[in-house]
């Protein structure tokens, strides 16, 4: 079974770089879900299972699923970004 994941704690690179194409995750105040944003624009609303492993495991157990193949949410695949920015590395 295939599912998507957006990790918590990634920096808001749109705010850092000024490039609104970078995705970020804004978790609801009550933790029930989140919004994936590209800069200030809403890309998609997601449930807690997209960023919280414990929630995902409870849902998998309920559905009788033993294993999942986890992939990043496709908007995170920033193949348009320069390699230095995409990796977070700094060149000297």
Residue pLDDT, tens place only, 48-86: 999 999 999 999 999 999 999 999 999 999 888 877 755
% of the chain with per-residue pLDDT over 70: 89
Q: 3-state class of 4 per DSSP?
A: strand
- Look at residue 92 in the predicted model and tell me its pLDDT: 44
Q: Return d(Cα 12, Cα 65) in angstroms, integer.
A: 33
Q: Return d(Cα 45, Cα 57) in angstroms, integer.
A: 20
| Mean per-residue pLDDT, 15-22 | 92
- Look at residue 82 in the predicted model and tell me its pLDDT: 75
- Look at residue 88 in the predicted model and tell me its pLDDT: 60
HSE (side-chain half, CA atoms, 13 Å) at 83 = 1
- Is it the case that residue 91 has pLDDT exceeding 50? no
């Amino acid at each position: 079974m295939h599912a998507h994941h957006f990790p918590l704690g990634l920096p808001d690179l749109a705010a850092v770089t000024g490039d609104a194409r970078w995705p970020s995750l804004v978790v609801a105040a009550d933790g029930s879900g989140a919004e994936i944003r590209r800069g200030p624009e809403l890309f998609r609303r997601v449930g807690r299972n997209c960023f919280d492993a414990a929630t995902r495991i409870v849902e998998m157990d309920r559905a009788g699923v033993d294993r999942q193949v986890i992939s990043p949410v496709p908007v995170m695949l920033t193949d348009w970004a320069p390699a230095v920015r995409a990796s977070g590395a700094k060149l000297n």
